């Protein structure tokens, strides 16, 4: 009986705290890998919190009964053969058509009842992305905390680094709980393959100066028998490499400018004594040093030239992304015009898909209509 009351309260919250969302098509996207223990509860919790939403579970080569458990709980289950969360998110964003997208991990650590609050914030503030900033709940006496110390430190370090480079303060860059508009999803290239996808999502929003906000949401421990797939050092290193790559791609003038300054100082440090000695004696006794200093100066000039050229290319690419982003209006702002000229809304799905169900070829309509 108490469980039934909680479900009724969740449904009431979903209908009372998401004004204007009744006519919007909402898709809940759950990437999964070996989450048979948790996924059934996650699907049921989001079904209670967002009863009108379609819930998709993408199984990423799980070796347990993840797909069966998700299907039994009422989710639309699909698969992605390319291993890694980034590959799964790319596939979900490509396949599924909706007005709003809720992206959440399938490990049961995120609070489904907070979804209406995130959606309401996105609609009320006309955001493109609402991020669930994790607030750890006190664990039981026999449980370990949801946040491991290494993960907490790594998140703070990488979040601070991205905030400093891209110019906006972010509290929880690595949160896996987010709500997006259609125009965010359909303008996002999704180049990452693994857990660094959250970093790419945040940098994409920062680079296009999209409106985003962070809303605090409870973050709990995994269910008994469920295990994390994150590796503190390996995944932290992959995220750091992605940050450096994004700096090169999105801030080439700064990236190559730093290389230029480093090489310039090194070249002058080696070359100035040689020049002074030549002025005083008319001789160049340290010819190899002079040649090395000259070569380093040439490399410095080459780095500066690359930075200037690539900054122009990046600006043009950013303009094209912005134009693609602007082709799609905000949710509720004229859904009929949310495609390019000459395209029908129904044709924006995969072959054989209908707008209302967003199902792949061969899937039954009754399976897709899970609102």
The pLDDT assigned to 142 comes to 47
Domain coordinates of the chain in residue numbers? 2-249, 252-326
With bands split at pLDDT 50, 70 and 90, how would you rate the model's confidence at 110? very high
Cα–Cα distance between 184 and 210 in angstroms, integer? 9
Cα–Cα distance between 240 and 264 in angstroms, integer? 26
Tokens 């950013």, residue located: 318
DSSP-derived secondary structure letter, 26 = E
For residue range 297-312, what is the model confidence (pLDDT) as tens digits? 999 999 999 999 999 9
Cα–Cα distance between 110 and 133 in angstroms, integer? 10
Using CA atoms of 273, 279, 283, 287 in order, give the dihedral in degrees to the nearest 10. 30
Assign a CATH topology to domain 2-249: Spore Coat Polysaccharide Biosynthesis Protein SpsA; Chain A (3.90.550)
Tell me: pLDDT of 194 over 60.
yes
The pLDDT assigned to 294 comes to 94
Tell me: pLDDT of 141 over 70.
no
Cα–Cα distance between 195 and 86 in angstroms, integer? 6
For residue range 53-99, what is the model confidence (pLDDT) as tens digits? 999 999 999 999 999 999 999 999 999 999 999 999 999 999 999 99
Cα–Cα distance between 154 and 365 in angstroms, integer? 44
* Least confident window among 60-74, 107-121, 273-287: 273-287
The pLDDT assigned to 55 comes to 97
Q: Specify which residues 31 forms β-bridges with.
A: 58
Cα end-to-end distance, the chain, whole Å: 24
Q: 133-149: b or e for each residue (b if 16 or more CB lie within 10 Å)?
A: bbeeeeeeeeeeebbee
**Strands 54-59 vs 26-32: parallel, antiparallel or unpaired:** parallel
Most confident region among 74-83, 215-224, 232-241 by mean pLDDT = 74-83
Distances in Å between the alpha carbon of 281 and those of 259, 275, 278? 33, 10, 5
Distances in Å between the alpha carbon of 139 and those of 3, 105, 136, 142, 219? 21, 19, 8, 8, 10
The token pair that represents 315 in the structure block? 């600006």
Indicate whether this model's pTM tops 0.85.
no
């Amino acid at each position: 009986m108490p469980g039934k009351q909680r479900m009724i309260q969740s449904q009431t919250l979903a209908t009372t705290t998401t004004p204007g969302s009744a006519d919007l098509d909402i898709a809940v996207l759950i990437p999964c890998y070996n989450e048979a223990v948790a996924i059934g509860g996650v699907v049921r919790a989001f079904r209670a919190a967002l009863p009108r939403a379609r819930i998709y579970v993408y199984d990423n080569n799980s070796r347990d009964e993840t797909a069966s458990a998700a299907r039994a709980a009422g989710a639309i289950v699909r698969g992605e053969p390319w291993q890694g969360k980034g590959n799964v998110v790319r596939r979900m964003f490509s396949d599924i058509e909706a007005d709003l997208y809720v992206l959440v991990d399938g490990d049961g650590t995120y609070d489904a009842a907070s979804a209406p609050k995130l959606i309401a914030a996105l609609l009320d503030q006309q955001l493109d992305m609402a991020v669930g900033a994790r607030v750890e709940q006190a664990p039981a006496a026999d449980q370990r905390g949801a946040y491991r110390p290494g993960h907490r430190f790594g998140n703070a370090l990488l979040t601070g680094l991205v905030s400093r480079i891209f110019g906006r303060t972010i509290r929880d860059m690595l949160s896996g709980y987010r709500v997006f508009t259609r125009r965010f999803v359909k303008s996002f290239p999704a180049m990452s393959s693994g857990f660094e996808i959250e970093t790419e999502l945040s940098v994409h929003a920062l680079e296009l100066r999209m409106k985003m906000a962070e809303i605090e949401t409870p973050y709990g421990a995994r269910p008994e028998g469920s295990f994390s797939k994150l590796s503190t050092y390996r995944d932290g290193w992959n995220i750091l490499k992605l940050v450096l790559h994004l700096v090169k791609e999105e801030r080439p003038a700064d990236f190559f400018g730093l290389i230029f300054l480093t090489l310039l100082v090194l070249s002058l440090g080696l070359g100035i004594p040689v020049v002074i000695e030549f002025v005083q004696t008319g001789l160049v006794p340290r010819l190899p040093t002079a040649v090395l200093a000259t070569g380093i100066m040439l490399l410095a000039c080459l780095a500066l030239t690359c930075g200037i050229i690539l900054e122009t290319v990046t600006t043009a690419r950013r303009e094209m992304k912005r134009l693609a982003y602007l082709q799609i209006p905000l949710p509720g702002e004229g859904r009929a015009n949310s495609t390019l000229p000459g395209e029908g809304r129904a044709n924006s799905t995969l072959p054989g898909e209908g707008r209302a169900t967003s199902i792949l070829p061969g899937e039954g309509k009754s399976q897709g209509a899970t609102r």
